[in-house]
Amino acid sequence: MDVLEAAKGRRSTRAFKIQDVPAEIVEKLIEAARWAPSAGNIQPWEFIIVRKPKIKRRLVEATLDQMFIEEAPVVIVVCANEARSSQGYGMRGKTLYCIQDTAAAIQNINLTAYSFGLGTCWVGAFREEEAREILKIPHGIRPVAIVPIGYPAEAPTPRSRKPISQIVHYETF
C-alpha cells in the first residue's frame, strides 16, 4: 500500500466486528512499532497486549466510558519508559523524547493495521493512575495511548484537515 494513501485513508475506528485478530497480525503490528525512530535509538516503548474482556471492561471505565474499546478483540496499550529516556537525555528525554518516540510507534501501528484492513483508534483520554493500576504498570513507565484494534464495523467519514496554506511557513514562522 502506498504510504500517502495509508496516511490519508486511515480513520479512527470506533465500532468493531466480533471477528478476531490473529496473534500473527498483532505481532506484525508490534514489528512495525519497534521500527519507529527514537531519540538516540533508546526505543523507550513498552506494549501491553490486552485480550481479556475483564481487563478491557476496566479500561473502558478508565477512559470515561469509551465503550468501543470493549468491542475490539485486541487492545494494545503503548507505554513510554520514562526512566530509560531520562537516563539518556535527562528531563528532555523524560518529558519530550519518550512521548515523541512512542507516538511514532503508535502511528506505525495505526498505519500497518490499516494496511491489513484493520481499524484502530488512538485513545488518549484516560485516567492515567487508574490505567496504571489495572495494568500493573510499574513506576517509571507511563501509559501514553490505548489502541483498540479490530475489523471495522463502520466506515467513518474523513474529518476535515486545515488547509496547507494555514499551517506551512516558509523560511521563518
Ligand X SMILES: Cc1cc2nc3c(=O)[nH]c(=O)nc-3n(C[C@H](O)[C@H](O)[C@H](O)COP(=O)(O)O)c2cc1C
Smallest gap from residue 93 Cβ to ligand X (A): 20
**CA 35, 128, 138 angle in degrees (round to 5)?**
65
Please pick, from the candidates 22, 37, 53, 124, the single residue that binds ligand X as defined by CB under 6 A.
124
Cα dist. 54→130, 142, 163 in Å? 15, 22, 43
Please pick, from the candidates 1, 7, 9, 12, the single residue that binds ligand X as defined by CB under 6 A.
12
User: Cα–Cα distance between 41 and 46 in angstroms, integer?
Assistant: 14
9 binds ligand X (CB under 6 A): no
72 binds ligand X (CB under 6 A): no
- Asked if 150 contacts 71 with a C-beta cutoff of 8 angstroms, the reply is yes
The residue whose Cβ lies closest to ligand X is 124
Please pick, from the candidates 33, 59, 77, 121, the single residue that binds ligand X as defined by CB under 6 A.
121
Q: Which residue is associated with the grid cell 470506533?
A: 14
125 binds ligand X (CB under 6 A): yes
b/e per residue 132-142 (b: at least 16 CB within 10 A): bebbebeeebb
Binding mask 127-156 for ligand X (x = CB under 6 A): -----------------------------x
How long, in residues, is the chain?
173
Q: Rule CB under 6 A: which residues touch ligand X?
A: 11-12, 14, 66, 121-125, 156, 159
